[in-house]
């Protein structure tokens, strides 16, 4: 019989859980040292809940948490604490929806297990097999992290043996299902000699996730921190009315109006990403595209440039951006609103992380109003309506910033020869001529980027109050954290 131990911890605030220090978990000393090396002093809420829960009992476990909450370490720490470093059998299998997430999980494992003899291997599609086969055969990892398709391939090739797996973890399970990996995941489950303990982490409880839990999980314990989405309080969520043809100019103004931007721009289609990127590049902004048409190598180059902050903006589709984990993003722009709350939550959750403030700005046309209302209604978050800033004011701000940047540039000394020559030629120049020269050389192409003639109107008068029409919206809104899971 399917029994659920629903363990919704409602109150860090009420004192049911007091955020501990890591010492209180009594971690094996070598793991504790690894944690300490990371500079983690206090567990995040999901860690405070999950580390003791995942370290005890045989029940399957389900954690509701998003990226940015410390959920990777929340399962990596208790997992590493329970593996046998003296055995060279694979004891843990971690499934991730994307190669990027596999990297992130693998990185956290390496860091925290650094003082132990535990080894891990990463396997994912899009690259040749030999290197991965070698890392499985010769590396003798106790932990394998990978994407479902490649894991199945390696099982079929009899390279990956799951007979001794004790723990199987599904990370970002909702993303995994969204990407169509359900059948692969179920197929992987059939290859265990004995049913391992299943742990799942997911940001949302979609119907697909509930079905998977029902079919595959044994008396799962749910780990959820009330206010698990609370980090959204660190994200200022605003929206701006535009008409279709005004989106590009609106986006440009929003970007230029901010003093510094390092962020993602989400588009609906691959074609749109290219159009938006070309437009922004034509305005001298450093922009990369990330969409499904890119080869893995092109994708890697784009990600590398973005990570190194050689470009300030990445224009992407939802699918291409899955698993991107970049620290310190300041902004997420929704060039179009996504269709549902789940995607909206995933998108904006890329910023406002690790206690830093972030901004999520959405462009909304009249056709998007129902979607906007739905997102506001279901998330119970107030998105603040703001006006697209005035083009002239943005241009003025930009000019001020560019001049300040110019003056603060570090410049090397010129050679005495060159100084003499320049003196001879430039000596008689008037101030105006000199400034014009600087303008032409350095400023011309990066000033007056906004089209000052364009004005933005609200598409139609706002209704005083939103009254849900459809039956489903008419129901009492259920809180994200308290909704019934079954
Ligand atoms: P995640 O939710 O796993 O994507 O983690 C988000 C970020 O939080 C990562 O950069 C982690 O290194 C960091 N992190 C995880 N746990 C802690 C902690 N207890 N204290 C400080 N930072 C943490």
DSSP 311-356: SSEEEEEHHHHTT---TT--EEEESS--SSHHHHHHHHTTSS-TT-
| Beta carbons within 8 Å of 113's beta carbon, 6+ residues apart | 31, 34, 80, 120
Residue 457 has pLDDT above 90, yes or no: no
* pLDDT at 232 (0 to 100): 65
Domain spans in the chain, listed from the N-terminal domain onward: 12-224, 235-391
Asked if residue 11 has pLDDT above 50, the reply is no
Q: Say how many Å lie between the CA of residue 150 and the centre of ligand 1.
A: 27
How many angstroms is it from 368 CA to the middle of ligand 1? 35
Confidence of residue 31 (pLDDT cuts 50, 70, 90): very high
| Whether residue 6 has pLDDT greater than 90 | no
The residue nearest atom 13 of ligand 1, judged by CA position, is 70
CA–centroid distance, residue 357 to ligand 1 (Å): 16
- Pocket lining: 473 vs ligand 1, CB cutoff 6 Å: no
pTM score above 0.95? no
Q: Give the residue among 176, 112, 171 at the shortest CA–CA distance from 145.
A: 171
Q: Quick check: CB of 40 below 6 Å from ligand 1?
A: yes
350 lines ligand 1 (CB under 6 A): no
Query: pLDDT at position 445, please?
Result: 80
- Same CATH topology for 12-224 and 235-391: the answer is yes
Contact 372, 383 (CB under 8 A): yes
- Does the CB atom of residue 354 touch ligand 1 within 6 A? yes
Q: How far is the CA of 103 from the centre of ligand 1 (A)?
A: 15
pLDDT reading at 267 higher than 80? yes
Most confident of 3-7, 185-189, 446-450: 185-189
Quick one: average pLDDT of 429-454?
86
Stated length of the chain? 486
Closest atom, ligand 1, to C-alpha of 22: 19
Q: Is 96 in the pocket of ligand 1 (CB under 6 A)?
A: no
Phi/psi for 50 (5° steps) reads -80, -35
pLDDT reported for residue 18: 46
Band (pLDDT 50/70/90 cuts) for residue 301 is very high
| Mean pLDDT, the chain, whole residue set | 85
How far does Cα 394 stand from its chain's mean position? Answer: 29
Please report which helix (H) or strand (E) contains residue 402, including its range: helix 391-408
CA-CA distance, 12 to 10, in Å (whole number)?
7
Residue 425 has pLDDT above 80, yes or no: yes
Mutational test site, ligand 1, from 70, 80, 101, max ligand atoms within 8 Å of CB: 70
Q: What pLDDT does 13 receive?
A: 36
User: What spacing in Å lies between the alpha carbon of 8 and ligand 1's midpoint?
Assistant: 22
Task: Tell me which architecture the domain covering 235-391 has in CATH.
Answer: 3-Layer(aba) Sandwich (3.40)
Task: Give the pLDDT band of residue 323 (cuts 50, 70, 90).
Answer: low
Say yes or no: domain 12-224 is CATH 3.30.1050.10: no
Q: How far apart are CA 59 and CA 420, in angstroms?
A: 80
pLDDT tens, position by position, 197-239: 999 999 888 888 999 999 999 989 999 875 444 446 688 999 9
Q: Hey, which bits of 53-148 come out as E strands?
A: 61-64, 92-95, 120-123, 143-146
Locate tokens 């180059």: which residue? 301
Highest mean pLDDT among 64-73, 75-84, 234-243, 434-443 belongs to 75-84
Nearest C-alpha neighbor of 218 from the set 486, 485, 484, 3:
3
Enclosing H/E stretch for 199: strand 197-202
Question: Is 184's pLDDT higher than 90?
Answer: yes
| Averaged pLDDT, 404-421 | 84
């Amino acid at each position: 019989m399917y029994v659920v131990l629903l363990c919704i911890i409602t109150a860090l605030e009420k004192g049911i859980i007091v955020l501990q220090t890591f010492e209180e978990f009594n971690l094996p000393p070598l793991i504790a040292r690894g944690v300490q090396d990371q500079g983690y002093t206090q567990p995040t809420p999901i860690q405070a809940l999950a580390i003791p829960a995942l370290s005890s009992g045989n029940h399957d476990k389900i954690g509701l948490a998003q990226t940015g909450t410390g959920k990777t370490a929340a399962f990596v720490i208790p997992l590493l604490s329970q593996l046998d470093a003296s055995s060279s059998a694979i004891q843990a299998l971690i499934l991730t929806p994307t190669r990027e997430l596999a990297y992130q999980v693998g990185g956290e494992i390496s860091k925290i297990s650094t003082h132990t003899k535990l080894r891990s291997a990463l396997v994912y599609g899009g690259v040749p097999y030999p290197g991965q086969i070698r890392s499985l055969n010769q590396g003798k990892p106790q932990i394998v992290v990978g994407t479902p398709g490649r894991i199945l391939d390696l099982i079929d090739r009899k390279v990956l043996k799951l007979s001794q797996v004790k723990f199987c973890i599904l990370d970002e399970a909702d993303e995994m299902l969204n990407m169509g990996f359900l059948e692969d995941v179920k197929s992987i489950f059939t290859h265990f000699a004995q049913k391992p303990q299943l742990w799942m982490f997911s940001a949302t409880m979609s119907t697909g996730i509930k079905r998977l839990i029902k079919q595959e999980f044994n008396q799962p314990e749910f780990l959820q921190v009330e206010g698990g989405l609370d980090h959204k309080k660190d994200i200022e969520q605003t929206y701006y009315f535009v008409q279709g043809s005004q989106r590009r100019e609106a986006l440009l103004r929003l970007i230029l109006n901010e003093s510094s931007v390092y962020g993602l721009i989400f588009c609906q289609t691959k074609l749109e990403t290219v159009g938006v990127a070309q437009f922004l590049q034509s305005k001298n902004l450093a922009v990369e595209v990330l969409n499904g048409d890119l080869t893995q190598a092109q994708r890697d180059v784009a990600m590398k440039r973005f990570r190194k902050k050689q470009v300030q903006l990445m224009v992407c589709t939802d699918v291409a951006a899955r698993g991107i984990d970049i620290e310190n993003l300041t902004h997420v722009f929704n060039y179009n609103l996504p269709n549902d709350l789940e995607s909206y939550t995933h998108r904006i959750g890329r910023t406002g992380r690790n206690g830093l403030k972030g901004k999520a700005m959405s462009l909304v046309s009249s056709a998007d109003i129902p979607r906007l209302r739905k997102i506001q209604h279901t998330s119970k978050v107030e998105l603040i309506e703001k006006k697209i800033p005035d083009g002239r004011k943005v241009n003025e701000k930009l000019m001020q910033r560019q001049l300040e940047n110019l003056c603060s540039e570090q410049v090397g000394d010129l050679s005495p020869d060159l100084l003499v020559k320049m003196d001879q030629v430039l000596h008689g120049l008037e101030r105006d001529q000199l400034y014009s020269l600087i303008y032409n050389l350095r400023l011309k192409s990066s000033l007056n980027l906004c089209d000052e003639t364009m004005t933005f109107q609200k598409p139609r008068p706002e209704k005083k109050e939103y009254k849900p029409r459809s039956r489903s919206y008419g129901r009492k809104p259920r809180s994200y954290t308290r909704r019934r899971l079954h």
